[in-house]
Structure 1
Amino acid sequence: MKVSRLVSIIMVLIDKKKISAKELSDMFEVSTRTIYRDIEAISMSGIPVHSTSGIGGGFQIMDNFKIDKNTFSESDITTILIGISNIPNIMKNKEFPSTLAKINNFIPKDKIESAQIKTDQMHVDFDHWMGVRNLDHQLNIIKYAIQNNNVISFEYINHKGEKTKRQVEPYQIIFKSSQWYFHGYCYERSDFRLFKLTRLSNLKLIETAFIPKDYKKILLDTTNIVTKLQVDIKLRIHVSIMERLLDYCEPASFIPDSNDYYIVNFPFIENDYYYGIILSFGGQCECLEPLHIRSELKRKIESLSQMYKV
């Protein structure tokens, strides 16, 4: 049970006269059963939540109830503040400053400075260091379409470089591995698909609204799948690129091999993306084994050499 979700539900109940379990489950992307457990936990904490069944029913905090500032611990509030302080600006709506002010209002005056220090100890920056496209315009269109159930149209370039026209019902914006995506139902494929924003062009909002389908969130934790596909390849690398290899390999896996060189087992999947990673290390990296991957790297290098041959 997440404390951050419980506090957020309380904030919603304070703001709204009444809200249903279905609305809360959609809002927090959990099951209605989880919402009922959360409401029970909130009630047990001393906050009187009244529920009504049937059409127009839902949950509401009883009239005239005032939440004491001591209801939440400093740790509870700090957890919430860290979370919402690191929401990317493009995802914040016009109510965000008001929401932040309400949460800050729960901090006792003698704990404000301490809570702020703890909040500032973690910072998430969604911007790249340099030279990438600004996707705010696309994100704003997709966010509006999700909130208003509007279909969007665009041209899409897949991983093979093929361009197709798509019409999609968008359901979720996703930020993963420093990239923006959205998940939606594609009319051309008659199924849900994941789209990378940098591959979109001519993005347009279609005024026609759609009736939301039963939506199951996409599986984003692919650790088990990737682990099954990966094989270890043995590389001999120069110390100058060691810091780049540390993005993929544990420090303890680097074995010294003469002056300024190391032997390291690199987790590798046999596809163009991973071959590109190895080739990006240039002359500071040699694949020792297995032989068939070494041979394929040699073939790619020879092909590249022919392309630039004068």
Structure 2
Amino acid sequence: MKLSPLTKKLIFFAIQHSKTIEISYIDQNGQQTERKVDPYQLYYKNTSWYLYSYSLDKGDFRTFKLSRITSISLLEKEFDQKSFKSTDNTNPNLNFSLSKIEVIVHKKSRDKLIEGVETGELLEVDKNHYQTTLVLPDHEFGYQYLANFGTTLKIIGPDFYLKNYVE
């Protein structure tokens, strides 16, 4: 299922503003459920995006694969951040901002890039490379996403993002 580019933006907004969201989710058995969750983090792992959140229905933290979310609504309810145990996939540092990144991507990774995140217009640099913009968190998970491209993607700006990525 193709993920709407607005889904990640809405989730990022909800995380940054501590807003509860309601999602329609299809589990691994094909059952669709409605869930009210307090979103904590988005992270990228093994070619997929995931949402780590506190499920109000289950009373515990849950992870949702974004490609299984069929609809999402932002609710007016604000939530207080709960402490949670960091795992390999999560990090308790929730203070991050979204940054517009300029990149050059090799043609063999172009499809992977545009299927993973919303991009700006793809401008052909030469017969093998494209330049575009994308919006990612200035945070470990944004850096991890870019690192998955290896040498087929080069960050060209802004300088602060490149500096944070290298550190």
Q: Deviating runs (4+, > 2 A) in structure 1?
A: 215-221
- 1:189 CA displacement: 1.1
1:192 corresponds, among 61, 67, 71, to 61
Q: How does 1:272-283 map to 2 (within 5 A)?
A: none
Q: State the distance in 2 between where 1:212 and 1:137 align.
A: 24
Look up the match of 2:7: 138
TM-score scaled by structure 1?
Answer: 0.28
Secondary structure at 1:215 match in 2: coil
Residue 143 of structure 1, CA deviation:
0.1
Of all paired residues, the percent bearing the same amino acid is 33
Aligned partner of 1:210 in structure 2 is 79
Distance 1:218 1:144 in 2: 23
Give how far 1:202 is off.
2.0
Q: Superposed, which structure 2 residues align to 1:286-305 within 5 Å? A: none
Structure 2, unmatched stretches of 5+, are: 91-167
Shift of 1:219: 3.2
Which residue, out of 161, 172, 176, partners 2:30? 161
Contact 2:3–2:67 (Cα < 8 Å) also in 1: no
Amino acid in the other structure paired with 2:89: L
AA in 2 matched with 1:157: I
Residue equivalent to 1:182:
51
| Equivalent residues in 2 for 1:216-255, closer than 5 Å | 216-220=85-89
Q: State the TM-score, normalizing by the size of structure 2.
A: 0.51
Supply the distance in 2 between the matched residues of 1:148 and 1:189 (Cα, whole angstroms).
Answer: 22
Flag structure 1 segments of 5+ consecutive residues without an equivalent: 1-131, 222-310
Three-state SS of the structure 1 residue aligned to 2:83 is coil
User: Which whole-Å CA distance do the structure 1 matches of 2:23 and 2:39 have between them?
Assistant: 12
- Count of matched residue positions in the alignment of Structure 1 and Structure 2: 90
- Kept in 2, the 8 Å contact 1:154–1:204? The answer is yes
Q: Greater relative contact order (Cα 8 A, min sep 6): structure 1 or 2?
A: 2
Q: By how many angstroms is 1:148 displaced?
A: 0.2
Higher strand content, 1 or 2: 2
**8 Å CA contact retained: 2:26, 2:68:** yes
Cα 1:172–1:134 shift into 2, 3 Å: same
Q: CA deviation at 1:191?
A: 0.5
Rg larger for? 1
Q: Is the 8 A contact 1:173 1:183 kept in 2?
A: yes
Once the two structures are superposed, residues 98-138 of structure 1 have per-residue CA deviations (whole angstroms, 9 ceiling, x without a partner) of xxxxxxxxxxxxxxxxxxxxxxxxxxxxxxxxxx7243211
- Quote the RMSD (CA, aligned, Å): 1.7
Q: By how many angstroms is 1:184 displaced? A: 0.4
